[in-house]
Amino acid sequence: MSAASPTNSPLLHNRYRILSRLGEGRLATVYRAEDERLRRHVLVHLLRTELVPQENLRRRFEEEARRGAQLSHPGLLEVYDSGDVSGRPYMVTEDIAGQPLADVGLLNPGEALGVVRTVVSAVAMAQSQGVPHPPVSSRNVWLLPGGRAVLLENWTIPPSETVQDLAPYRAPERAAGGPPTPATSVYALGILAWETFVGRRPFDPQQPLGTQANQELPPISTVRPAIFSPELDRIVAQAVAPDPSLRYTTPIDFGRALDHYADASTAQTGRLATLPTGITATVPAQPTPVPAAAPAEAPQVRPKRAFRRAQQAAPAVAPPPPPPVLQAPPPSRTMSAPAPQYNQQAVDQQIKREVKRQVRRQGCQRALIKRTTQLVLVFLLLYGIYLGIGYTYDWATGRLAQINPTEWLTSRLPNPSDFVPSWLRNPGELTATYRVTRPVRLRSSPGASADTNIVKVLEAGSRVQQIGPPEADPDGQPYTWLRVIVLDDGTQGWIANLEGLLE
């Protein structure tokens, strides 16, 4: 499918009208479409044609669509629908309009911290639920006009440039051939955090893989002096440590450290205590040392007068400069669009509500399994008591002397076949073929009391095939009705299963 005009645009499953082709990502080709049922714009992600034969990628794409629909987070695309068309699986998500973080430029510290916390929280929730998530990259993080940050598969990057784009976020152990772990995700998120606060990538994507392990990542306060926060430098440095054992264990731990830092940096400090009226605190200046003179010529000066002269001659010392603050006025933006207003408090509340909903659902599932197990155990206990009473009664009356205990127990246990219908035990009965021996009426519903439900009259020798289980006669007659299809013309209906009628 390519870009189509409104008058000749393809319709997917009689619902999604394809409007335009946006681009290709690592796995899927992305289209903008219109949901004609709900009257809204959506994104259709269709697995690329050359990837359909690769079973592992196809299975990952389908798993991402199925599990992503069960996960709701402001930092991830909302999955609406999924399916298959001409052997190619597709996924329908919400439509967005924004730009990649790599193209935004320098953010003020508050916006940068909100973006990083949202992306870290999205990755942490996806990994905790076992849901695949897009790779971490500043070109895969999009900023929407309302200030929302979303982690997605960027369809504007050619698939041939994906490896080069993700190279700066690859942990040293991954570049050495190691498997992906939560620690490697923490490293990628740490690089993204450094880039979000500084406004550029720390490493050159053109350099060979693995060489960045030997490069030291400079602190954020050194590259951007307007953000002076040793605690933030420590958090990011721990996230991007070359040794995996020195990093945060999981993205959840990294996100918890960022949350504590955000709470501490936005906390209000109390007012300084003031002295009572009329009391002043003064610090006497140190007297200037006087060179020692000859003992015979030393003048006699009173100590009090010498102290006053030294105090008047002491130079004034300027107060130390105030320490730099965390949030300085943002520099001039290179973007023409206004900076988005990010409401971190609303995002945090939404994340807490989603976590509570997930916890409640898991609690209900565990409670249902527990109650079902208890009911089964109670039923087995009661049935065991019933068998014990019966055994005791038969033993007291002397019947066990004539009956084998094994046969007695077998006779008391229910027969599993009694719970299975006959047509299910013998599926061949549902597709049996018969020949009509004499003319019979084919009716649209069971029952011979009305002549209005007659479909046709079958002549002798007509061949019919049963297509359903038999049903009792609605008028209480001692025969059943069979739903059949006439093999000659495909007519369906009901005939009475009278003795000698079918063979």
Residue 205 identity (one-letter amino acid): P
pLDDT tens, residue by residue, 60-87 = 898 888 888 888 899 999 999 999 888 8
Average pLDDT over residues 295-312: 48
Per-residue model confidence (pLDDT) at position 431: 67
Residue 150 has pLDDT above 90, yes or no: yes
pLDDT band for position 175 (50/70/90)? confident
Residue 51 has pLDDT above 50, yes or no: yes
The Cβ-side half-sphere exposure at 48, using a 13 Å CA radius, reads: 14
pLDDT tens, residue by residue, 405-419 = 777 777 777 776 666
52-56, 222-226, 305-309: which has the minimum mean pLDDT?
A: 305-309
Helix 251-266 × helix 230-239 angle, to 10°: 170
Nearest CA to 10 out of 43, 40, 41, 34 is that of: 34
Nearest CA to 120 out of 231, 252, 264 is that of: 252
Chain center to CA of 110: 25
Per-residue model confidence (pLDDT) at position 125: 92
Per-residue model confidence (pLDDT) at position 341: 60
| Contact assessment for residue 132 and residue 60, using Cβ atoms and an 8 Å cutoff | yes
pLDDT tens, residue by residue, 423-453 = 566 555 556 888 888 888 888 888 776 677 7
Residue 465 has pLDDT above 80, yes or no: yes
Per-residue model confidence (pLDDT) at position 201: 87
pLDDT band for position 344 (50/70/90)? confident
Cα–Cα dist 238/313, whole Å: 52
Determine whether 84 is exposed, middle or buried from the number of CB atoms within 10 Å of its CB (0-12, 13-18, 19+): exposed
Calculated CA dihedral for residues 150, 153, 158, 160, nearest 10 degrees:
130
Of 375 and 392, the structure prediction assigns the larger pLDDT to: 375
- Top-tier CATH class for 422-496: mainly beta
Per-residue model confidence (pLDDT) at position 314: 44
Q: What are phi and psi of 151, to 5 degrees?
A: -95, 120
Helix 109-129 × helix 251-266 angle, to 10°: 150
| Contact assessment for residue 495 and residue 485, using Cβ atoms and an 8 Å cutoff | no
Average pLDDT over residues 213-241: 88
Per-residue model confidence (pLDDT) at position 19: 93
**What's the mean pLDDT when you consider all of the chain?**
80
Widest CA span of the chain, in angstroms? 157
Residue 459 identity (one-letter amino acid): E
Q: pTM here?
A: 0.53
Fold type of domain 1-95? Phosphorylase Kinase; domain 1 (3.30.200)
Residue 219 identity (one-letter amino acid): P
Fold type of domain 98-265? Transferase(Phosphotransferase); domain 1 (1.10.510)
Identify the residue whose tokens are 């393809």. 10
Residue 274 has pLDDT above 70, yes or no: no
Residue 335 has pLDDT above 60, yes or no: no
Q: What are phi and psi of 198, to 5 degrees?
A: -90, -35
pLDDT band for position 213 (50/70/90)? low
Residue 273 identity (one-letter amino acid): A
Helical residues (DSSP H) of 211-289, grouped into ranges? 220-223, 230-239, 251-266
Average pLDDT over residues 5-9: 60
Residue-level length of the chain: 503
Per-residue model confidence (pLDDT) at position 3: 44
The ranges assigned to domains in the chain are 1-95, 98-265, 344-412, 422-496
Contacting residues for 305 by C-beta, under 8 A, at least 6 apart:
none
Q: Is 464 left (phi over 0), alpha (psi -120 to 50) or beta?
A: beta
Q: What are phi and psi of 165, to 5 degrees?
A: -70, -35
pLDDT band for position 31 (50/70/90)? very high
24-28, 130-134, 174-178, 345-349: which has the minimum mean pLDDT?
A: 345-349
Residue 135 has pLDDT above 80, yes or no: yes
Residue 267 has pLDDT above 80, yes or no: no
% of residues, the chain, pLDDT over 90: 28
Nearest CA to 75 out of 140, 6, 13, 159 is that of: 140
Cα–Cα dist 341/74, whole Å: 15
